[in-house]
Amino acid sequence: MLQDTDTPPLFALLFAELVAFLSEVVAEEKLVVYIFGHSFPSGLAREARAHHLSCRDMLELTNKHDVFVEGHPGLTYSRMFASANHYFMKMKALEKIDLLCIDMGTNDLCNLDSTPKVVVDNTLRFLEMLGARGITAKHIVLCL
């Protein structure tokens, strides 16, 4: 779907991998897909607007699927944990989430005090926080 030469290579790669994954997972039933995180979700929404498409169209999904994208450039786990209720509000409002794509952790690794283990621990804490708020998903994809 992305033909634009201005698309950053990393974004295009992540985008292509997500489209490939979704084409394997998406079944005949209607799915609710929620993409949350920092740069990738922000870029997906920005690219969709630039091409006058919905995020669902960008991901090459049919109209029967609901796609929600929430991206916050520069988001780190510490920032998200400090305002968790704000970040989980939209997810909590949904009846169900079939596929939750989480793009978090790379901004945390820019901090000299952070390590891959810290990012993994924070990812597990994030998933525990979702469960504690009653937010569940049939499938979870982590983009680290």
CATH number at residue 74: 3.40.50.1110
- What is the spatial order of strands in the sheet that 137-143 belongs to? 66-71, 32-37, 97-103, 137-143
Q: What is the pLDDT of residue 125?
A: 93
Domain-located, residue 74: yes
> Which positions ≥6 away from 97 have C-beta within 8 Å?
32, 33, 34, 91, 135, 136, 137, 138
Percent of the chain with pLDDT over 90: 8
Helix/strand/coil for 42: helix
Mean residue pLDDT across the chain:
79
Domain-located, residue 7: no
Tokens of 115: 């390590």
Domain-located, residue 44: yes
Domain-located, residue 1: no
Number of domains in the chain: 1
Domain-located, residue 13: no
> Which positions ≥6 away from 77 have C-beta within 8 Å?
104, 105, 108, 119, 122, 123, 125, 126
Where residue 52 falls among pLDDT bands split at 50, 70, 90? confident
List of E strands, the chain: 32-37, 66-71, 97-103, 137-143
How far, in Å, CA of 130 to CA of 88, rounded?
A: 8
Domain-located, residue 20: no
Structural domain including 54 reads 31-143
Domain-located, residue 23: no
Where residue 140 falls among pLDDT bands split at 50, 70, 90? confident
pLDDT exceeds cutoff 60 at 54: yes
Domain-located, residue 51: yes
Tokens of 139: 């499938």
Q: pTM score, two decimals?
A: 0.76
